[in-house]
Amino acid sequence: MPKAGFIATRASFFALAASILGPVMLAAPAAGSTCPSSGKCFAVVVSPPSPTAGASASFTFGITNEASNQQLGSVQITALAGFVITGAPGATSFTSSSALFLNLSLAPSATTTLTLSASALSGGAAYQWGIKAKQSNDFNGTGNDFQLDPASLGLTGSYSSCPSSTPCSASASSATTSVTVTTSSAFPGEFLEVGIVNYIYSCGGTYHPVSDPFSFALFGPGGVPQSTILNVSLEIDKSLVQSSGRTGASSWQICYASTSQFTAVPGTSGTAMIGGLTYHTGLLPDCSGTPVPPCVQARNKDNAGDVVVTFLAPGDPLGHG
């Protein structure tokens, strides 16, 4: 299973991989990178990448037409798991499970944004959006389907309700990135969220992050971010490891971002504007004998040749590798 890069979400931290904190600029995956022989493909970036259990939220779908000479005419978005759709501004029609957007006439290489409101089912679950696109403006006909770019972000993830005083974990993955977040104990009503996102930021120095960003957070009963120390495991797929040229596990770092200052590897500190807020950025140092999060605990390769980086992070961070 391909995985790579880490990012934590939604209140005050980032790590390159990925985390969210409010509205962000949508950026699509590299255009045309996985376009099939038919020439008709499209990429999607969903923001925010993960829901809040039992609450309604507005979701934005950034749609990019990666075809070389065909327009993208219509899109159907489906709540496959974990969601109930409650509204779809601009849609021709919608139900609790799907929304249909017609007459888009999206030109090659162009991007548009579609918005809908949805409520996440309570109790904790995996969630998944389904999305289909056609060349026709009325979503009819055969042989005019567009293929979804597997590099699309934010379509799947999970949120887990945490039983009191027991470990709790949640995971998310993309075509190249996978992350699992665990808390050693929890209070009643708390829940973890993990999702793939797409933020653009970097850390100082010469290190260049290559993994997908993703987000995670621990929330209290009222949806308030918690500052509990979380264990994060980031897995970077073998294919990405090889293409990056950094084949040794020891060469992988976590590029982290937080609204709070933290100790970074010397020479890598900086700032970045993310979602209208100023974030402190930098590569995470290794944990000492008495770890002071955020810090990297270990780096290794598994039997499949994937690189696995584990680190400690307080609350809900953002990052990637």
pLDDT at residue number 40: 87
Least confident of 55-59, 64-68, 180-184, 301-305: 55-59
Read off the pLDDT of each residue in 228-238 and give the average, rounded to a whole number: 89
Read off the pLDDT of each residue in 21-49 and give the average, rounded to a whole number: 53
Four-CA torsion 247, 250, 251, 253, nearest 10 degrees: 120
Least confident of 35-39, 56-60, 188-192, 193-197: 35-39
**What are the structure tokens assigned to 10, written together?**
């939604």
Residue with the two structure tokens 């039983």: 163
Please tell me the distance from the alpha carbon of residue 219 to that of residue 289, in angstroms, as a whole number: 29
Contact 191, 55 (CB under 8 A): no
292 CA to centre of own chain: 26
pLDDT at residue number 87: 93
Hey, is 239 helix, strand or coil? helix
Read off the pLDDT of each residue in 236-262 and give the average, rounded to a whole number: 87
pLDDT at residue number 267: 95
pLDDT at residue number 19: 29
> Where residue 36 falls among pLDDT bands split at 50, 70, 90?
low
Most confident of 22-31, 57-66, 267-276, 288-297: 288-297
For residue 226, pLDDT over 90 is answered with: no
pLDDT at residue number 26: 29
CA atoms within 13 Å, Cβ hemisphere of 79: 21
The angle formed by the CA atoms of residues 203, 304 and 157, to the nearest 5 degrees, is: 60
Which of 143 and 191 is assigned the larger pLDDT?
A: 143
- Tell me the pLDDT tens digit for each residue of 61-101: 989 999 988 999 999 999 877 778 999 999 999 999 999 99
Domains of the chain with CATH codes:
30-148 (2.60.40.2230), 163-320 (no CATH)
pLDDT at residue number 114: 95
Closest CA to 65 of 155, 133, 143: 133
Which of 190 and 236 is assigned the larger pLDDT?
A: 236
Read off the pLDDT of each residue in 208-225 and give the average, rounded to a whole number: 72
For residue 34, pLDDT over 60 is answered with: no
pLDDT at residue number 28: 33
pLDDT at residue number 108: 93
% of the chain surpassing 90 pLDDT: 31
- Tell me the pLDDT tens digit for each residue of 3-17: 222 333 222 333 433
Residue with the two structure tokens 């040749």: 305
pLDDT at residue number 73: 97
Tell me the pTM: 0.62
- Tell me the pLDDT tens digit for each residue of 91-134: 999 999 999 999 999 999 999 999 998 887 655 556 778 999 99
Looking at residue 200, its amino acid is I
